[in-house]
Chain A
């Protein structure tokens, strides 16, 4: 009886965990962060052959940002981040009015950093 109880508890726990994971993934899909138009880059210039440039952009986007070992950007991943240089300049003026030329580093936490496959 006790054994049945433990199995039942384990089953309920797994059921709750699976719902929780599904919910988490749906929310993650909604959390969409991608490159900005000005200058978004976390460029990967990795190559096995030094004569060939293999470059890619580390877009951080909904449903893709927790990639554990599947892209050439992986060795750059610190969570999943992109760096944006803000340089806002009104089209009618030759220079920016207020603040400009600053970097923002956007990072999305990823379970894969903690060794959890996502």
Chain B
């Protein structure tokens, strides 16, 4: 068990290091002249040189890389070029806001998709199964801005059920805040529903066909008990893994949703950074996204192995 965990952590560290190289290469080496990119093609060469110098981008690439990574390791993410505030502060605030939005999405989608997946598996091949499977597949494939348009039109403009605006006065009570976050979280729910329901369905079907389920049925347990005690416990394990890996997609979706609804989270921050060519913010923002993904998958692996004795004991060779 311990060896398994250590190996996973080591792999994550290697991945993180490679990620830092990729981000550095993409954002420092590719643009060539950073100052020129920021100031535009008609700027005075002297102004470009001055900006390059003050940004430190006229130094050798290796020096810049170690300087940047050193800063990251000390928690110094640099200063944003467009907001003129420390990047760490911006990211922390954005991360908090995104977390609220993502939490609302997860609270809705996890029970819903597990329920959907289990129902689909129990009614395999029937109409309800086809509706959930094909509907989930289509919803998953739909870009968030397309589903947002349709949801805004139906839920806000026509039925007037949910507010479009996410802007609420800061002193509003939490329930109203959550109420305003429901509409922007629904496109994320739709994307995630298909994935999670599909994995839950597959896991449930496998559990239903297993010998232990047959034994439980044959020894006369009521069907409800079989499903809850024997099938669900096993079928939900893969679901945990998939929920964690979806955090990656979730952040991609947040870029669109937050930009569209003008919600100040990490996604909108990334979008602003990219459109303003705010390189310190881009670099730190992207590596934060990578870290979130790696931590989530690591936690998933750990909880998965804690739940699954086959993995938990495999390390004891």
The answer to whether A and B interact is no
